[in-house]
Chain A
């Protein structure tokens, strides 16, 4: 079956531009997560949705970062006024529901480069 998909796969933005990254989770998965992976680092948690509700946004690095999942399926991560330190791979994951017993399935990521 189809896994988690993300688009675009690569994005180059000039400093100060706004970007929007899309995540299509596995159909029927209730939980959706965004992680940020800087070069040479492990992924770091950004935010978590259960259906359309954003239950945890503690990992968002600044108020320039905004995520939504209005219909409880597709999610968009938006970054306003991009800065060079935003350059990273943004990974989306979904799981059938919340809880530590359930695996998170990751998409291929979007590599964002801010010039």
Chain B
């Protein structure tokens, strides 16, 4: 059974700092990996989707990398801003289905002005 782990569980940084969030998964036979953002009381917003054949994806100040063989992904946020404060969730699609997302518990990020 696929298990997704995210560390740290919480992170607090001053504004302007670059930071890295980590995600690991136990079964490397994944179809894709997605990073989501969740704001309090709101649904999930997809940030980046990396297909299993890709190594990284970039969107603005965000860069996500994927090392499938070691079962790891990182989300790099450059020049963090208070508006980046949210919970960041990592999820993979793997196993017998090509649609079922398995999520980690998330990293709660606080960027202090």
- Is there a chain A Cβ closer than 8 Å to B80's Cβ? no
Number of CB contacts from chain A to chain B under 8 A: 66
- Interface size classification for chain B: 20 to 34
**Which chain A residues lie closer than 8 Å to B51 at the CB level?**
100-101
Per-residue interface assignment for chain A, residues 82 to 107, with 1 indicating a CB less than 8 Å from any chain B CB and 0 otherwise: 00000000010101001111011111
Given contacts A43-B91, A48-B99, A109-B43, 20 further A-B pairs with CB under 8 A are A31-B99, A33-B101, A40-B105, A42-B4, A42-B105, A43-B44, A43-B101, A48-B97, A48-B100, A100-B52, A100-B98, A100-B99, A101-B32, A103-B34, A104-B46, A104-B101, A106-B45, A106-B46, A108-B41, A108-B43
B interface residues (Cβ-Cβ under 8 A, vs A): 4, 31-32, 34, 36, 41-46, 49, 51-52, 89, 91, 93, 97-106
